Structures are given as structure tokens and as C-alpha cells.
Amino acid sequence: MNRNDTLAALRERPDIAVLVIGGGINGISVFRELALQGVDIVLAEKGDYCSGASAALSRMVHGGLRYLENGEFKLVRESLAERDRLLRNAPHYVAPLPTTVPIFDTFSGIANGAVRFLGLTRRPSRRGALVIKAGLTLYDLFTSARRLMPTHRFRGRAETLRTWPAINPAIRSSATYYDAWVSRPERLGLEMLFDAMAASPSACALNYASVASTDAGIALTNGLTGEVLPIRPTLIINATGGWIDLTNKAIGASAPLMMGGTKGSHLIVDNAELHGALGGHMVYYENEDGRICILFPYLGKVLIGSTDIRVDNPDEVRCEDDERRYILQSLAFVFPAITVAEEQIVFSFSGVRPLPASDDSFTGRIPRDHFCEFVEANGHLPATLCMIGGKWTTFRSFGAMAADMVLARLGLARSKGTEDLAIGGGRDFPENPETWCAALAERHGLSVERACSLFERYGTSAEQFAEPSTMLSRSDYAAAEIRLMIEREQAECLADLFLRRTTIAISGGLSLALIDAVLAILAAHKGWDAARAAAEHAAFLALLAHQHGVTLSDLSKTNDKRSALCA
């Protein structure tokens, strides 16, 4: 169903079994789980799908090596199992990532790790080779029954410097192990959402739809028109992450404070020297204050992060200047001879980790695990299940946990699992992608290069986007791709298209000409007049500047420079 169909159905039949509030990765996960059981379910997201914390992850799919220090062995084991499932179920977006840890000491961190393990408050000291060896040995042990990637290995100082000549020469050794990364987390979330709706006619979802209490009960407000629709769910799932407490207040749920999120900011850098210095690896390192940082090749650029700062208002989160300085300072520690210029930062992003409320003075000690709590019915408000905590890697198992609790409350039985369920373009994934792409190119009259580009973006769903079409200005996206996203993927504004349906913004591919070209397609489809289109243009440029550190002058200078280089 399209948006109008969904709204019409809710007007005619406001009684539903389950309302999921929150269209991030966890909300989509529990929505998919329940839709596959045939539950009458509606998902409402006040912004766009995967536009909050689910768009601001470090792009890692990992077990959480550092969580071992906190004694979170169950979480690490679960995360590694979910990582391996994603490697199988979403191979178009999730891939192995060799990860190297620079080591500057041998014995450092042993006593500190013991103190942290015992639950005493103390900031970490630098981890030495023995501590890292112990952690990686556990990592390998947890995955020994389903070995998908190589076990860890250590390198001495001489071999490390030969392999990474630009690394800090004070290094003693290094350790390499394998985790994974996700190229397009927002699209993976969308594919799960659309898979669920395709599988179940009783499941529907709306973005730009907020939920609040009224005198008569619960109402959904269409954020695009202002229309208010009363709805009567039997049960509510609050899957709004860092916004859980705010959502409980908005719907009238009487619950104690549940969340204590922290902010994590990241930079995307266009620096060829740094990209080359990584040698295809993620470098997982400690800053001088003991904070874990990462950098790895991402869509032709380098992703560097992150910070870990307590926040009170998740709606005001962005990467601040002091965070930029901190991240670049951490880079200077591990690659001291490489300098990143301000204009080489092509994008920044920040999100709120949905951590449970905690008074721990050190944010790194707050548990990263997930759990659910019911807030019982009160007046017109039905019972509400709150999904608390979690990390991106474990969204499937978290969604399954929440769904099982809901099914038990509704007196229903599970009929289908998702452990081995392929996602979107990960279905029927070919053993030989080159052969598959060559066949796609032949069927649709495309160049093999174009077919490979579509396959990288959409996996086997590339077939849907393979219509020959004019390429957009200064872009490797085609006009037909954008039109399909608008028509089929509930894209309502420029931010939806540039920040979530595509990777154009995060990979530094924006230009004023491209923005104008996409806006023309969007405005024609929506029937916008010149004034409405101009307002959308201005709003998007303001969002880029405020939230992502990309200003109009940056766009002009960056793309003029690239044009000159290409010429």
C-alpha cells in the first residue's frame, strides 16, 4: 500500500492489534518479526525510517571486543552470532572487515581490566598485548563452531611497520582479527520493512507520523498534512531508542526514566594518503585517554570515530567542533605523519546510543545489552512494551525477543523465525557476482560497469533499478533510480533521498547541480509549485550545514576542485 492507502485503511479501521512507535532498526526488526506471524500491526515513525541513531552507527557489525572488559560475555557471544547471520542473510550490505589493533605495551591494562571486571569504577588504561590476546582468544572461541572468517594473528613491530609504514613508530606489535562492516544500514532497514509488508497484508508502516495521547486515547498525526487519526491498539511497542522516555510521556505511559543515552560522532574524510595507509583494514585503536576509536575505508573515503558523551536532548545532537578536534587528535596519535585538512572532512554525523539509565561516571562502563519492560495499561492507554538498550548488530535478536513477549501477551504462537531469513537484495545471492552482473547488463542493455554499480547498491534487487536512464549531473546515480525511490520507498523530501535512500551525501558526492536535478524529479512527482520546491531546497541546505557540517560554500569548492581534477 502507498501512504494514502495506509491512511485510508486506518480511517476505516482504527482498531489494530499492535502499534510500533519508532522506525529505527529495532522498531523495524520487531515489526518484521510480528508481521511474519500474521499479526495486525502498524509502525509509525515521526521522521523518516532509520533517520536517528540507526543512521549514525559506526558502520561496524561486530561482537564488541571491548565489552569483554565489562564481563558482557553473553552480549559478545550473541553479537558474534548475529554478525555471522548478517554475513549470510545480507551479503549485499554486510561484508568481512579485517581489523588491526596497534599495541604499544605488553602488560598494561591487566590490573585495570580486573578492576573493571569486578565492577569498580575506574577509567581504562591502555590495553597491552596480553589483555588483547585474551580478548581475541575468546572472540575466536565464541565463533569456533561456525568459522566464517580467519582467526586472529599477531605481528611483531618490524612486520607491523612494513605492513603499515605510516603507523606510529612507537608501536610494539599489532593484532589482526575479523569483524564486519555494513555499507548501507539505512537501506538494509528499509528492505526489512518492505519485506515484512510484502509478506503480510495486515502490516503497514508510515514515516512522518507521530503518536500522542488525547482525551479519548491514542492518535496518530500525519506530519505531512497535519491530519489527526484516532487509533486503538491492543498493545503498544515503544521502540524509539534514545527517545523512549519522551515517547512514554507523549503517550501518557506512567514509567520511570529508562534511558541514559550517550552521543557518538563520526567524520567522513576524503584523504587519499590516509585511505592508502589503512591497506583495506579497519584500525581499532585507543586514544591517549583510553577511549576506543576506529578508522576504516568506507565507500572510497575514510570513516573516523567516535566520541561518547552523555546527552539530555536527543533532538539536539550533532557533531560539535570540539568533537571534530578530538577525533582528529586521536588520528594524529595513531598516524602522526598524516594531516587531515578541514576541507577534507566531507561529512559528519552524530547519534544517540540507546543505553539504559545509569549513574556510572564513565560512559564506557554502561552496559550495551538489551532488554524489554512492560508498562501496564492505564486508562485509555493499553500496555506498552519498551525496548531498552541494544546495539545495531543485535537488532534481529532484540526484535525477536520483543516479538516473543508480545506474542505471549496476545496469546499467539510464533510460526516463523528469522535466523536464516535473507533480507531484500540478499536473497538468491550469486556465488559469482561478476557473472550475475554480466547477465543483468545483457538483459537490460546496460554496461557491465553500470550493472556492477547497481548490484553493489541493491544486491539482487538491482533488477528493479536496471531501467536504462539518463545519469544525473556529477553523479553515478540515474534519474530512474531516484524516481523509483520516490514512487516505491516512501521518500518524502531531499534528505530522505540524499541521506538514507542513497549514499550520495555521506560519501561526499553532493553538488548544487545534483541537488537541483533531484529536486526537480521530487517536485514533479509531489506536484510542488516553485515556492514549495524552493522551501525544500533551503531546508535541505540548512540541514546539511547544521547537522552534517556541509555548507553551501563547501559544496561549491569541493565539487569545483573535483571537476578541475577530472578535466
Q: What is the pLDDT of residues 293-306, one digit of tens each?
A: 999 999 999 999 99
Strands (E), 358-401: 370-375, 384-389
The answer to whether the CB of 99 falls within 8 A of the CB of 284 is: yes
Omega before 173 within 30 of 0, i.e. cis = no
pTM over 0.85: yes
SS3 content of the chain, % helix, strand, coil (to 5): 45, 20, 35
C-alpha cell at 390: 541494544
Q: Is 241 helix (H, G, I), strand (E, B) or coil?
A: helix
CA–CA distance, 429 with 459 (Å, rounded to integer): 7
Q: Which residues contact 102 (CB under 8 A, 6 or more apart)?
A: 160, 167, 168, 171, 174, 283, 285, 334
Stated as kind and residue range, the H or E segment containing 483 is helix 479-488
25-35 and 185-199 helices cross at what angle (nearest 10)?
20
Residue with cell 515517547: 247
Please tell me the predicted confidence (pLDDT) of residue 121. Answer: 44
Please tell me the predicted confidence (pLDDT) of residue 23. Answer: 98
Parts of the chain with a pLDDT under 70: 1, 107-126, 359-365, 552-567
The answer to whether the CB of 383 falls within 8 A of the CB of 14 is: no
The phi and psi torsions of 465 (rounded to 5 degrees) equal -110, 15
* DSSP conformational letter for 152: P
The answer to whether the CB of 391 falls within 8 A of the CB of 185 is: no
C-alpha cell at 200: 503480510
73-89 and 129-142 helices cross at what angle (nearest 10)?
60
Question: To 5 degrees, how large is the angle CA 410–CA 246–CA 397?
Answer: 45
CA dihedral sign, ordered 472, 478, 479, 484 = negative
Please tell me the predicted confidence (pLDDT) of residue 342. Answer: 92
Please tell me the predicted confidence (pLDDT) of residue 359. Answer: 65
Please tell me the predicted confidence (pLDDT) of residue 216. Answer: 86
Determine how β-strand 292-298 pairs with β-strand 282-286: antiparallel
CA–CA distance, 95 with 15 (Å, rounded to integer): 42
The answer to whether the CB of 41 falls within 8 A of the CB of 399 is: no
The answer to whether the CB of 197 falls within 8 A of the CB of 205 is: yes
